[in-house]
């Protein structure tokens, strides 16, 4: 996706307010000093990033104050007033299109051959209503009248209580019906072959060739507009269809919505919008510079909502279009770092950043176009640095994130470790390391040409270790990096240095410690069946490891505990941070945080 900072105003800083006073607080739980003793950690859980995919599939608005957006992961969010909710899972198998009855809080979302229904604030479990094909379109005029079309040319109707059996209204190979209803006495369905069929309240007409083969929208029983798949509109007056009128030279519409007779809005995939008034169709206006527009809904002539495949929406008030706003970010969290037991920052694959203050996480804020791959917040500071999948870095200073800056072209970052606001080390997937001096990043320095998936940890400005999947370790002395030291031939995936005289590195079922002089011979984690994929050491011989399957292990006095499950974890943790003995935080790829 091209850089275009203006679309989300990333040229300005996105604020995430951190507390400026970090007070030492009593730990929520304490790691026992007894070697190998069982420990209770992660007593808090919250889904902080939502369960979205970062790609909106469809939107529908019942009014300017109530809209629903669904995404490709099967999650949905609602606009109530002026605030969007987080995306929450409705159907893990995915959702296709949504329709909300005007002036209600009743909506229906399609899920292959089934539907999920929203009434008020709760979604129903998906129920199968069509056994003949996949549902392709839905139109709900009221909470007691909906019509859905499918890929086989059938329609199913909802009467407020139940769905009818599929009824064939079109034929041919995969007609892929698109349907719109003005009332329970007029619906129009168009297919991909340029045919239309109408419903008069009792029966459907035979399909007739009218040149309509894409989207359709009916405002009244005597006014519908459809598009021909090539950027031209055809109009239905209740009795017949007009000839095509060219609207968009770029090609087909991504969305079409007519809230009233002679009043329509159309938008194409490139993000250009066109309006129909009594004087005809307007020239195109760019409303989504990123493009990849997916859906459009206009419940009235003074309100429209447009969505795109990057999780953005924009609104129209009848005169002008608003700036893009990101409402759907990928819920997958990739990294977390805590400056204390009361302040943590988590980042995700959708470019979002979230902050824990005390016991409450703030809302996600979009700070990067790319997938954020790591974050590090030095102890007792308000500074954090993050890295992304495109060789870019950004910093949190004074409560605001800077815009991303590319410092390592062509390489995604894999890891970052900061000991202060004036020193960080970041490793990329190619084995290069860059350092931060408080104002600038150094050029990439080739450290590890043999390995991949490097992890870095620093205890001071003159002490860092880089480890890789070949089992090598490289030491930084403040000036240069050492040659490789073979630590564990089975490979290393994580390292944590509590001080210049203590580090622990793990490669799964084995681990090794560094005593300030040398790495010890690798030993088995626990009984040898346990596996540690990430590790964080708050002090010498006080470490916690995660196994990636929802369990954590403590390392105290040279002994690993048995694995303990994290309550409510689905076993997909991606990162671990322990700023103090007795307090750790972890995040997962489902948008959850545990601390």
Segment 100-150, tens digit of pLDDT: 999 999 999 999 999 999 999 999 999 999 998 899 999 999 999 999 999
The mean pLDDT value of the chain amounts to 91
Q: Provide the token pair at 486.
A: 């073979």
> Whole-model pTM?
0.68
Question: Is the separation of the CB atoms in 437 and 447 below 8 Å?
Answer: no
* pLDDT, mean of residues 467-477: 97
Who contacts 227 (Cβ-Cβ below 8 Å, separation ≥6)? 212, 213, 214, 215, 216, 233, 234, 247, 252, 253, 256, 266
pLDDT at 18: 39
- For the chain, the 3-state helix, strand and coil shares in percent, each to the nearest 5, are 0, 50, 50
Q: Provide the token pair at 299.
A: 């419940």
- Nearest to residue 326, comparing CAs of 577, 52, 91, 546? 52
Domain ranges of the chain: 54-128, 329-500+570-594
pLDDT tens for 41-91 read 999 999 888 777 778 999 999 999 999 999 988 999 999 999 999 899 999
pLDDT at 39: 64
pLDDT at 249: 94
pLDDT at 182: 98
Q: How far apart are CA 276 and CA 267, in angstroms?
A: 12
Q: Provide the token pair at 583.
A: 């307090």
Q: Is 568 left (phi over 0), alpha (psi -120 to 50) or beta?
A: left
Is 50 exceeded by the pLDDT of residue 3? no
Task: Provide, rounded to the nearest whole percent, the portion of the chain with pLDDT above 70.
Answer: 93
Is 50 exceeded by the pLDDT of residue 22? no
25 or 382: which carries more pLDDT confidence?
Answer: 382
Judged by DSSP in three states, 222 sits in: coil
Sheet (strand 573-580) strand order: 45-47, 592-594, 583-588, 573-580
Is 50 exceeded by the pLDDT of residue 264? yes
273 or 1: which carries more pLDDT confidence?
Answer: 273
pLDDT at 4: 30
Who contacts 518 (Cβ-Cβ below 8 Å, separation ≥6)? none
Decide if 54-128 and 329-500+570-594 have a common fold: no
pLDDT tens for 335-375 read 999 999 999 999 998 889 999 999 899 988 889 988 999 99
Is 60 exceeded by the pLDDT of residue 555? yes
* pLDDT, mean of residues 154-159: 98
Q: How far apart are CA 441 and CA 393, in angstroms?
A: 9
pLDDT at 369: 81
Q: How far apart are CA 526 and CA 562, in angstroms?
A: 7
Q: Which of 3.40.50.10110, 2.130.10.10, 3.20.20.140, 1.10.10.10 would CATH assign to domain 329-500+570-594?
A: 2.130.10.10
Q: How far from chain centre, in Å, is Cα 528?
A: 36
pLDDT at 589: 86
The third-level CATH classification (topology) of the domain covering 54-128 is Thrombin, subunit H (2.40.10)
* pLDDT, mean of residues 166-179: 94
Task: Compute the half-sphere exposure of residue 551: CA atoms within 13 Å on the CB side of its CA.
Answer: 13
Who contacts 218 (Cβ-Cβ below 8 Å, separation ≥6)? 180, 181, 182, 186, 187, 188, 224, 236, 258
Which alpha helices (H) appear in 17-101, and where do they start and end? none
- Nearest to residue 143, comparing CAs of 217, 66, 198? 66
> Which region among 84-98, 177-191, 235-249 has the lowest average model confidence (pLDDT)?
84-98
pLDDT tens for 316-345 read 999 999 999 988 877 789 999 999 999 999
DSSP 508: B
Q: How far apart are CA 582 and CA 27, in angstroms?
A: 6
Question: Is the separation of the CB atoms in 286 and 256 below 8 Å?
Answer: no
Q: Where does the pLDDT of residue 26 fall: very low under 50, low under 70, confident under 90, or very high at 90 and above? A: very low
């Amino acid at each position: 996706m091209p850089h275009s900072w203006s679309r989300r105003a990333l040229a300005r800083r996105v604020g995430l307010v951190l507390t400026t006073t970090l007070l030492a607080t009593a730990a929520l739980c304490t790691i026992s000093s007894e070697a190998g003793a069982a420990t209770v950690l992660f007593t808090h859980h919250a889904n902080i990033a939502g369960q979205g995919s970062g790609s909106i599939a469809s939107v529908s608005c019942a009014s300017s104050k109530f809209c629903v957006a669904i995404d490709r992961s099967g999650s949905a969010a609602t606009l109530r007033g002026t605030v969007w909710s987080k995306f929450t899972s409705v159907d893990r198998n995915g959702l296709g299109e949504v329709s909300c009855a005007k002036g209600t809080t009743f909506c229906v979302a399609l899920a292959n051959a089934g539907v999920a229904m929203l009434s008020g604030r709760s979604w129903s479990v998906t129920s199968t209503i069509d056994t003949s094909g996949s549902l392709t379109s839905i139109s709900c005029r009221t909470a007691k009248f909906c019509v859905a079309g499918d890929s086989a040319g059938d329609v199913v109707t909802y009467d407020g209580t139940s769905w009818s059996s599929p009824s064939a209204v079109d034929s041919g190979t995969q007609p892929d019906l698109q349907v719109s209803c003005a009332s329970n006495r007029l619906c129009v369905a168009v297919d991909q072959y340029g045919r239309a069929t109408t419903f008069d309240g009792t029966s459907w007409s035979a399909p007739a060739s009218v040149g309509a083969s894409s989207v359709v929208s009916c405002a009244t029983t005597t006014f519908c507009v459809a598009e021909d798949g090539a950027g031209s509109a055809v109009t239905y007056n209740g009795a017949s269809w007009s000839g095509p009128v060219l609207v968009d030279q770029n090609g087909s519409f991504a969305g079409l919505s007519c809230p009233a007779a002679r009043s329509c809005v159309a938008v194409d995939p490139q993000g250009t919008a066109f309006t129909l008034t009594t004087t005809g169709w307007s020239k195109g206006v760019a409303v989504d510079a990123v493009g990849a527009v997916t859906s459009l809904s206009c419940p009235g002539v003074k309100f429209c909502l447009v969505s795109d495949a990057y999780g953005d929406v924009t609104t129209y008030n009848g005169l002008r279009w608003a700036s893009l706003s990101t409402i759907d970010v990928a819920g997958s969290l990739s990294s977390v770092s805590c400056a204390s037991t009361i302040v943590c920052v988590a980042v995700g694959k959708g470019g979002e950043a979230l902050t824990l203050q005390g016991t409450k996480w703030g809302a996600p804020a979009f700070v990067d176009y790319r997938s954020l791959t790591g974050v590090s917040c030095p102890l007792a500071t308000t500074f954090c640095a993050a890295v992304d999948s495109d060789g870019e870095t950004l910093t949190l200073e004074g409560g605001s994130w800077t815009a991303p800056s590319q410092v390592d072209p062509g390489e995604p970052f894999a890891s970052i470790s900061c000991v202060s606001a004036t020193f960080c080390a970041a490793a990329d997937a190619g084995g290069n390391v860059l350092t931060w001096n408080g104002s600038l990043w150094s050029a990439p320095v080739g450290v590890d040409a043999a390995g991949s998936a490097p992890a870095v940890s620093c205890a001071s400005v003159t002490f860092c270790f880089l480890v890789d999947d070949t089992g090598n370790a490289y030491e930084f002395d403040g000036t240069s990096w050492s040659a490789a030291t073979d630590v564990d031939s089975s490979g290393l995936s994580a390292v944590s240095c509590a001080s210049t005289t203590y580090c622990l590195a793990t490669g799964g079922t084995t681990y090794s410690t560094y005593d300030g002089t040398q790495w010890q011979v690798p030993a088995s984690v626990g009984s040898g069946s346990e596996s540690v994929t990430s590790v964080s050491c708050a002090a010498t011989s006080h470490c916690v490891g995660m196994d990636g399957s929802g369990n954590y292990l403590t390392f105290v006095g040279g002994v690993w505990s048995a694995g303990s499950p994290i309550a409510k974890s689905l076993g997909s943790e991606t990162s671990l941070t322990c700023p103090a003995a007795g307090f750790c935080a972890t995040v997962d790829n489902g948008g959850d945080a545990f601390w």
